Amino acid sequence: MSLSMAELPDGREIHCVNDYEVGFGWHEIVSDDLIERGLDLPADGTYLDVGANIGLFCLRLRDLCPDARIFAFEPMPAAFGALRSNTEKIGGAIQASCLALGDKTGTAQFDHYPALSALSTGDSSVGERLADGLKKLLFGQGASEDIRAIIDSTGAHERLDDDAFIERLFKKETVTVEVDTLDSVATRFGLDRIDLLKIDTEGQERPVLDGIGEDLWPRIRQLLVEVHRGADELTTIRGELEERGYKTTVEDHPMAQGGAPVFHIYARRS
């Protein structure tokens, strides 16, 4: 798949899979003030971006933390192509891997949405819920004024009566990806300290967390976990993090405006 280019609000150009996805993704990242949520971002820290997609979070980290070491993981080949191009442009100490992280090493099948790369997931039910939530936002159901403006800027609202466009937008295909554990990659890259572990894996957050061994947990100072399986999963993961000594804060994800049960957990060592 050939890559597209998109322009950020500040004029910078980035590689992407679909240019109309970039505005929503960038808005989500820059409007989420991690410092306000209780996290700290050392300029020379070590950061892991699990589910990096095209690298927007990596770019934001480089803006905020110019001397950071960043390790980005994205299993979808098309998104990884954009991630690799963007990380090369970002520069500095950054390592991009075409890899999913889970609770064991091997391979797994993912649902890939070519026209909505950010929805790609190893859990079909989560992908369907997210797609349903996005459809509601597209058709104006529950969207806030700022989210509505971002969606309108893509031009998608002008094609909502085009059934072929909507069908293509939510079409999915199966992709087999390589899977490794956080324990394994931490050993491979010699990570003795992780200042922030960000997990955005569209329903695979549980396997990613289960791939962290007891020796690795004390080296993880902070986490940002996007939870896609609803309130019960949120309560479980939040409780487990607090039992490990983290202080947590929870916020709704912008997708929740469309009815998708998506939350952010911000966790830091007490």
More confidently predicted of 243 and 24: 243
Retrieve residue 41's tokens: 């971002």
pLDDT at 142 over 50: yes
More confidently predicted of 160 and 118: 118
CB 68 within 8 A of CB 44: yes
Strands 263-269 and 246-252, bridge-based pairing: antiparallel
CA of residue 202 relative to chain centroid, distance: 8
pLDDT at 156 over 80: no
pLDDT at 99 over 80: yes
pLDDT reported for residue 257: 47
CA of residue 129 relative to chain centroid, distance: 16
Retrieve residue 235's tokens: 């309560």
Q: Which of 25-29, 90-94, 140-144, 187-191 ranks highest by mean pLDDT?
A: 187-191
> Of 119-133, 149-163, 251-265, where does mean pLDDT reach its minimum?
149-163
Distances 227 to 5, 50, 53, 58, 259 between C-alpha atoms, Å: 29, 13, 16, 20, 14
Q: Which residue, 108, 101, 97, 116, is CA-closest to 200?
A: 101
Retrieve residue 155's tokens: 């031009």
